[in-house]
Amino acid sequence: MPELTDVRESIPLPVGDGEPTLPAEVLTCPLSSRSIGGERPSGRAREAAPAREGTTVLVAEDHAPTVRALVRLVETRVHSVIAVADGTRAWSVLRRRRVSLVIVGRAIPGLDGLELCRRIRARRGDHYTYIILTGEGGDGHRLEGLHAGADDFLARPLDLREMTARLVIARRILAMQEGLARKNAELARLAETDPLTGLCNRRRFDEALRMHASLANRRGLPLALAMLDVDHFKAYNDAFGHPAGDGVLHGIARLLRDDARAHDVLARYGGEEFAALLPATDATAARAFAERLRAAIEAADWPLCPITASFGVATLDPVASDPSALVRMADAALYRSKRLGRNRVTSFDDSALTPKNATQQGS
């Protein structure tokens, strides 16, 4: 069996022919090395051990002295260490837990280290798992491991001083990966958000419309859209300036949020135009939503002058397949509201292909 040099003793750990290998079970090791080599927790305790926050390291190795030394080394630098004795159980852990670093022996039972590397790299997702593969020395074994997906290769017998240095490198790379993932997530959020109002932008709205239309079609549910346009907004901007106009748009976005449900999709559709996509909502409920919002905008205490908005409401038939038709119908109803004098809600009657129920509310 291979030897592992412990830097604290500067001599190889004793390994004899009778040295036991670990049983093929998962051992969750908190910040105490007593779980390895001492009294083991019961099977129920192992399964129920809660995951701790922070970096989780998986050690996949069936050589008991190697596991003990690695756990002692790793657990002082991370929050959670999991030790398994074969590749099959290692893969099971990886499918259930978020693991940042894997230290795996090339020749472990079950799935060997190379196959485990390949499976880890074949997974999809934004979480990166750093892999340190250990095995017999030689350029051939090292290259084979790197081609299989390992980030690093450490030849046996393992030197804990060298392993310590490799762990420092791994933590540095993982920190860079996590920082990049956070920045990418923020960029993705910004790419889908209108910076002035905080609502969805047109791109995100179009994606949501396609998704909800498909879902409504599969489930046989209605899908409604309410579109609104701020009345005389250009004149307001010309009279009071663009900062004042931005304040109006921000205020209408707030009123939209106040009246919408958590699963409604709210968007700044363009300029002074807004859209509210209302899943599982029929024509009557959609019109009621628009009427409430119209009244709230009219009644709001705007600082410079009264503000009103015109609305167009449409409902997509559950069996319809063209989500863009919903936008065209709502837009036609909105145009009808503006032609009829603004500050009103107009519903679109799909069967007659003409707007109906144009009811003026207020001036």
Which active-site residues does the annotation give?
Answer: 272
Helix (H, G, I), strand (E, B) or coil at 200: strand
Q: How many CB atoms lie within 10 A of CB 105?
A: 26
The Cα–Cα gap between 183 and 298 comes to 40
Cα→Cα distances 120→40, 91, 305, 358, Å: 29, 8, 61, 59
The Cα–Cα gap between 122 and 154 comes to 22
Quote the tokens at residue 304.
Answer: 């410079």
- Buried b or exposed e, range 311-322, using 16+ CB within 10 angstroms: bbbbbbeeebee
Tokens 């472990």, residue located? 108
The Cα–Cα gap between 357 and 258 comes to 26
CB 29 within 8 A of CB 57: no
CB 124 within 8 A of CB 92: no
